[in-house]
Amino acid sequence: MASNTVAPVPSDGVDSARTPDSSADAPLDASLAGSGGDAPEGDASEGDASEGHASEGNSSADDTAPDPTDQVPRPADVTRRLALLWDPPAPPTRGRKARLTLDEVVTAGIAVAQEVGLDALSMRRVAARLDMGAMSLYTYVPGRTELVDLMIDRAFAELDLPAADAPWRDGLSRYAREVWHLYQRHSWILQTNMWRLPLAPHVLDAQEAGLRTLVDTGLSAERVVEILGLVDAFVRGLARAAVAESVENDASGMSSDEYWTSMSSFWADWFDVERYPVMTRIWEAGGFHAPSDPFDASLDRLLDGVEMTIDRANERP
């Protein structure tokens, strides 16, 4: 999800998209082909012979070559956090049966966040909802951070993601609409740092589906990531505005239309058509008439821009 899209890091620690030989606008298939070309036959045969002699003398060194993944730092808290997402503990089969399941704890956490917002979520509140002590809750989940990770992953599991064979525009439109509706159902997600979404199975499933809609369109790898990030930012921004409007409606008891009607005297008494001639011109032409569904209208315009970018990429010689 570019601003909040998770970027896999190559095992050698080098971002291949940033190396001097790469091109941000090279089609993805071309960049892949360029990195894996075969050597000329004559050179290959000489190389094979020399490598054969070298391997005879260095076989022991190759056998003991360090695994690059051994150099990856694995802090205990990070390992615990990721393991809970990818390999949660199975319910005990012996001894006294646990009173609750981890799924029930996550369900309670989501219910609390829906009621009071994520900022007010605490282990104590979740424990109270489950009618148990806060210390007992820690036997199911190590802390609030891990609980929120699980809550977000559970919410993302609700997404009905586009099929792999969907045309790019249909697929990207479906992706955007699904994420939009997810934020309407779980507005508390928008209170998290969206640039640090958990590395959770269903979160990555969503990103995979979004990237898949664009990967075979002729765009470069960097453009694919940028465009998905743009779509994510668009959906997120509009969702936050819609949530804020809903909160304001509830707090004031006044709908958006009612609010703007109450402010109508401004246009008669204070608005200066000479100071704002462009605004006046657009108003008189009906430009400020809001569409019945601003999300759909704006998404269509955004996808039109993506389509132009794809067309331009495929016109390249």
pLDDT in tens, 86-118: 998 877 666 566 789 999 999 999 999 999 999
How large is the average pLDDT for residues 72-78?
A: 90
**DSSP symbol at 100:** S
Neighbours of 231 (CB within 10 A): 24
Q: Which residues contact 174 (CB under 8 A, 6 or more apart)?
A: 160, 161, 162, 166
| Three-class SS state of 138 | coil
Q: What is the pLDDT of residue 285?
A: 93
Q: How confident is the model at residue 289 (pLDDT cuts 50, 70, 90)?
A: confident
By the 10 Å C-beta count (0-12 exposed, 13-18 middle, 19+ buried), 210 is classed as buried
More confident residue, 55 or 305: 305
Q: What is the pLDDT of residue 34?
A: 53
Span 246-278, pLDDT tens digits: 999 999 999 888 999 999 999 999 999 999 999
H or E segment to which residue 134 belongs: helix 134-137
State whether CATH 1.10.357.10 applies to domain 160-315: yes
Range name among 2-6, 80-84, 298-302 with the lowest pLDDT average:
2-6
How large is the average pLDDT for residues 37-61?
A: 48
Q: Which residues contact 35 (CB under 8 A, 6 or more apart)?
A: 16
Q: How confident is the model at residue 131 (pLDDT cuts 50, 70, 90)?
A: very high
How large is the average pLDDT for residues 279-288?
A: 93
**Fold of domain 76-88+99-155:** Arc Repressor Mutant, subunit A (1.10.10)
Distance, first Cα to last Cα, the chain: 30
Q: How confident is the model at residue 40 (pLDDT cuts 50, 70, 90)?
A: very low
Range name among 4-18, 51-65, 293-307 with the lowest pLDDT average:
4-18
More confident residue, 32 or 157: 157
User: Boundaries of CATH 1.10.10.60 in the chain?
Assistant: 76-88+99-155
Q: What is the pLDDT of residue 288?
A: 87
Span 176-235, pLDDT tens digits: 999 999 999 999 999 999 999 999 999 999 999 999 999 999 999 999 999 999 999 999
**C-alpha–C-alpha distance, residues 102 and 271, integer Å:** 58
User: Boundaries of CATH 1.10.357.10 in the chain?
Assistant: 160-315
The radius of gyration of the chain's CA atoms, rounded to the nearest angstrom, is: 27
